[in-house]
Amino acid sequence: MTALHLADEGEAADLAAFLARLIHYDRAAAVRLQASGTALAVFGRPPSFEVLAIRTARLAKPYENGLDVTLDVTVSAGEFLESIDEPAATVAVPEAVTGPPWAGVLPPRGGWQQEPGLPTPDAVRAMVAAAVAEFRSRTQELTPERRTRAELDRIGREIWSRPIGDTGLPVRAAHAAQSLGFLRPARQAVPDEGLLGLYTSGAWLRLRTPYGSIAVRRAGLGALDVSVR
C-alpha cells in the first residue's frame, strides 16, 4: 500500500476535516487523488451541491512509488480518512474503486484566468446565509400537500442558481465552499479581502479560497472544454 508523507500535522488535520465533511453528505463518497511532485490534489463531489470540491495538500517530499512519479487513483473517501495518521503526518492510499462518472471528468489543469466581480468574503458569506434563511422560510410556509420533493427541489434550484454579484458563479458554489469549511476566516492576521478569487477556463468556473476550491460548469456550456483523465 502506497504511503504519502504530508508536510506536517496541520496538512493532515485539514485533509481529514475535508474528508469528514464529504462523508457527512455521502457516507459512500469516493475521491479522486492526484499527486505529482510535492502536491496532492483531492477531488470530491458532495451530493446536492452539483459542484466539484478540490482540496490540495503539501507533501513532505516528491511523490514516487517505484517507477511511478505520479499518482492518479479513485478511492473510498472513508477508507482514505481512516488511513490518515495525523501525528505522523502520513496517509496510506487505499485500493482503487470504480469511480463515479464525475471522477472521469475534471477541470483543466491550466488556462485559468481571473474573473472580476466577486464580492468580499463577508459579502459572500452573507449571501449564503440569506439564501439558507430564504429556503427555510419558503419551505416552512408550504402546506403539507404542497411540501413535495419536486416543490422543494424547485425552490432550491431557484435560490441556489442565482449568480453571486456580477459573476456567473451560482450561490450553490459558495454554499458548498462554506459547508466544506473553505470559507472560514483566514488564519493569518491579514485582511479577509483578496483571499477569494474567481477564475475561468473554458466551460468551468472556479472559486478559490485559502483552504480549497469549488469548480462548477458554466450554465449553458454543457461538456465543452473538459479534461477527461
Shared-domain flag, residues 102 and 8 = yes
Q: How many domains does the chain have?
A: 2
Domain that holds residue 66: 3-106
C-alpha closest to that of 37 among 74, 4, 77: 4
Using the predicted structure, report yes or no on whether residue 200 has a pLDDT greater than 70: yes
Shared-domain flag, residues 213 and 139 = yes
13-24 burial code (b ≥16 CB/10 A, e <16): ebbbebbebbbe
122: number of Cβ within 10 Å:
11
Question: 86, 106, 126: which is the final residue of a domain?
Answer: 106
Shared-domain flag, residues 131 and 99 = no
Give the pLDDT band (50/70/90) at residue 225.
very low
Residues 167, 174 contacting (CB under 8 angstroms): no
At 94-121, the pLDDT tens digits run: 999 998 999 998 999 889 999 999 999 9
Average pLDDT over residues 73-92: 96
Question: 58, 79, 106: which is the final residue of a domain?
Answer: 106
Shared-domain flag, residues 10 and 101 = yes
Share of residues in the chain with pLDDT > 90 (%): 77
Shared-domain flag, residues 224 and 118 = yes
Give the pLDDT band (50/70/90) at residue 67.
low
Question: 106, 136, 169: which is the final residue of a domain?
Answer: 106
CATH of residue 95: 3.10.150
What per-residue confidence (pLDDT) applies to 65? Answer: 80
Residues 32, 100 contacting (CB under 8 angstroms): no
Per the confidence metrics, is the pTM higher than 0.85?
yes
What per-residue confidence (pLDDT) applies to 218? Answer: 82
